[in-house]
Structure formats: structure tokens, C-alpha cells
């Protein structure tokens, strides 16, 4: 039963990631807790971080080959974010698991609202990170990277949905380049969080392996469907935002009831 539950949950996350290109990892923790039956929210977060990091690394290879990664910006953003992720994961491990789940549910509602309200940006005004642009661009990348990394580490999420607009805002980066570059940060943040949780014995490795294996299969199906649907990606993102909101309400209610006893 565990094999089917863990691989099925991974397939669903991978399918969503392949279909709309981001946001799917926000479902990993609630799926592990309420679907797979991982007893501890902290173990669910640590296990999710492993799966998210490996999935992002696999996707990064394809974007790098296609030339969609702006390495200087991505590496600076990621370096700051890794420090943030260390701090965030330390704070997350110290917090009561049910309170952490409640905050996670609230984060899901915020992300759902942001997905519904976000307007596409043109990426006009993008400048690569150079000696000339560093005085202006470097502080924005470091500040945004640290903030997003801290949230990623605290909640055990890849943070792709936060990183993409972060890169677009800090560096005025076009969407496609922001998506490719964000995978450097997602991989870095996920690995940092995973190492922190693994050092505390808060990773279920068999479940992580099954989740990743399912995610690979789901990602293939999601990517294939995305190619067929073509221009309906905006509609799909709105539908997915609704799903995230519903799951967020469920997590908030379950977390609130658990705290009330």
C-alpha cells in the first residue's frame, strides 16, 4: 500500500510540474502527510525537500542545454538563498509540527491567490549580472534570494513559484529565462533543506525514492499533455490555483483542529 501511495503522490506532483511548469511541489507535504500517511510533519517536509531537489535537478539539465539559464544571476540568488534555507529549516525544525502545518496551509492560500492575480511580465529591461550592473543588481538578487530561501527552508518547498517572480522582479528577467534559472535555486534550496533535515534524522528515504520515481513518470505525462494543450496554460494555472486553495483550506482546518485538541 505504501508503494502505491508514495509513488502515486509523486506522480501527481510530477504531472502538475510537467503540465504547468511550477507550483506542483506545494502539494508534496500535504500529500505525504494526508495521502501517504507520514506521521510527522517534519519528516514529510524533509522527505519532500529531497524529492523536490532531485526533480529540479533533472529539469535543470534540459533548460541548461536549451540556453535558458542565466548562470551569474542564478548562482548569486542561490548562494544567498542557501543561507536563508539553512536558517529557515532550523526554525522549521524547532516549531511544533501542527503549527507548522497550519502555517503551511495559510501559505498555500496566499500562493493560490498570487497565481490567480499574477499578470504576465514582459521581461523588458533585463540586464545580465556584470561588473557594470552589479552595484544595482547584486543587492536585489541577494536580498530576494535570502528571503525566498528562508521561506523554502522553513516550509520544505522548492519555492519555484516564489523564485520565478523573484528573479523577474530583481533582475527584470524574461519568464522563460526566469523559469530555467529558478531551477538552480530550487535545486540548491532543496538540497540545503534536505541535508539539514537528514542530519536530524527527519527524512524517510524509502518514501522519498518512491516519490521521486513516481514524479519522473508523472512529469513525462504532464509534459506531453502540456504540448498538446498549447495555449491553454493560463487556464490550467487558474484551475491549479483553485486546487491549491482547496487543499490549503483542508490543511488549515486539519491543522487548526489538531491544535485545538
Judge whether residue 224 has pLDDT over 90: no
* Residue 6: per-residue pLDDT: 93
pLDDT digits (tens, 9 = 90+) for 232-246: 667 777 777 888 888
Read off the pLDDT of each residue in 160-164 and give the average, rounded to a whole number: 78
Q: Which of 34, 42, 8, 22 is nearest to 161 (CA)?
A: 22
- Is there a domain that residue 205 lies in? yes
Return the DSSP state at 33. I
What's the rounded Cα separation, in Å, for the pair 108 and 245?
Answer: 6
- Is there a domain that residue 143 lies in? yes
* Residue 226: per-residue pLDDT: 67
Judge whether residue 122 has pLDDT over 60: no
Judge whether residue 83 has pLDDT over 70: yes
* Residue 63: per-residue pLDDT: 79
Read off the pLDDT of each residue in 146-172 and give the average, rounded to a whole number: 85
When pLDDT is cut at 50, 70 and 90, the band that residue 119 belongs to is: low
Judge whether residue 120 has pLDDT over 60: no
Read off the pLDDT of each residue in 100-107 and give the average, rounded to a whole number: 91
* Residue 172: per-residue pLDDT: 84
Read off the pLDDT of each residue in 40-68 and give the average, rounded to a whole number: 86
Q: How many residues does the chain have?
A: 261
Helix/strand/coil percent split, the chain, to 5: 85, 0, 15
- Is there a domain that residue 122 lies in? no
Other CB atoms within 10 Å distance of the CB of residue 221: 14
What's the rounded Cα separation, in Å, for the pair 52 and 211?
Answer: 10
* Residue 45: per-residue pLDDT: 92
When the pLDDT of each residue in the chain is averaged and rounded to a whole number, the result is: 86
What pTM value is reported for the model? 0.84
Read off the pLDDT of each residue in 34-57 and give the average, rounded to a whole number: 90
- Is there a domain that residue 192 lies in? yes
* Residue 71: per-residue pLDDT: 95
Q: Which of 101, 99, 118 is nearest to 48 (CA)?
A: 101
- Is there a domain that residue 157 lies in? yes
pLDDT digits (tens, 9 = 90+) for 173-186: 887 788 788 889 98
* Residue 232: per-residue pLDDT: 64
- Is there a domain that residue 215 lies in? yes
- Is there a domain that residue 194 lies in? yes
Domain hosting 30: range is 2-115+127-260
Number of independent structural domains in the chain: 1
User: Residues 129, 76: contact at Cβ < 8 Å?
Assistant: yes
Burial (CB count within 10 angstroms: exposed 0-12, middle 13-18, buried 19+), residue 170: buried
Q: How far is CA 31 from CA 28, 62, 207, in A?
A: 5, 27, 12
Amino acid at each position: 500500500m505504501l508503494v502505491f501511495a508514495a509513488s502515486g503522490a509523486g506522480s501527481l506532483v510530477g504531472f502538475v510540474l510537467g503540465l504547468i511548469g511550477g507550483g506542483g511541489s506545494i502539494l508534496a507535504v500535504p500529500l505525504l502527510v494526508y495521502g501517504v500517511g507520514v506521521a510527522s510533519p517534519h519528516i514529510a517536509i524533509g522527505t519532500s525537500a529531497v524529492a523536490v531537489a532531485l526533480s529540479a535537478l533533472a529539469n535543470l539539465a534540459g533548460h541548461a542545454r536549451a540556453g535558458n539559464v542565466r548562470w551569474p544571476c542564478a548562482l548569486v540568488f542561490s548562494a544567498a538563498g542557501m543561507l536563508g534555507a539553512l536558517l529557515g529549516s532550523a526554525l522549521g525544525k524547532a516549531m511544533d509540527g501542527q503549527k507548522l502545518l497550519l502555517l503551511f496551509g495559510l501559505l498555500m492560500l496566499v500562493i493560490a491567490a498570487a497565481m490567480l492575480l499574477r499578470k504576465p511580465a514582459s521581461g523588458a529591461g533585463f540586464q545580465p549580472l556584470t561588473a557594470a550592473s552589479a552595484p544595482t543588481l547584486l543587492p536585489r538578487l541577494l536580498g530576494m534570494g535570502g528571503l525566498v530561501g528562508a521561506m523554502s527552508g522553513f516550509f520544505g518547498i522548492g519555492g519555484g513559484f516564489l523564485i520565478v517572480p523573484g528573479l523577474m522582479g530583481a533582475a527584470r528577467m524574461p519568464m522563460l529565462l526566469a523559469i530555467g534559472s529558478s531551477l538552480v535555486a530550487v535545486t540548491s534550496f532543496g538540497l540545503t533543506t534536505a541535508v539539514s533535515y537528514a542530519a536530524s534524522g527527519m527524512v524517510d528515504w524509502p518514501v522519498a525514492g518512491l516519490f521521486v520515481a513516481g514524479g519522473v513518470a508523472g512529469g513525462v505525462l504532464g509534459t506531453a499533455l502540456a504540448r498538446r494543450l498549447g495555449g491553454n496554460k493560463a487556464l490550467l494555472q487558474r484551475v491549479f490555483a483553485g486546487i491549491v486553495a482547496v487543499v490549503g483550506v483542508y490543511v488549515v482546518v486539519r491543522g487548526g483542529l489538531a491544535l485545538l485538541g
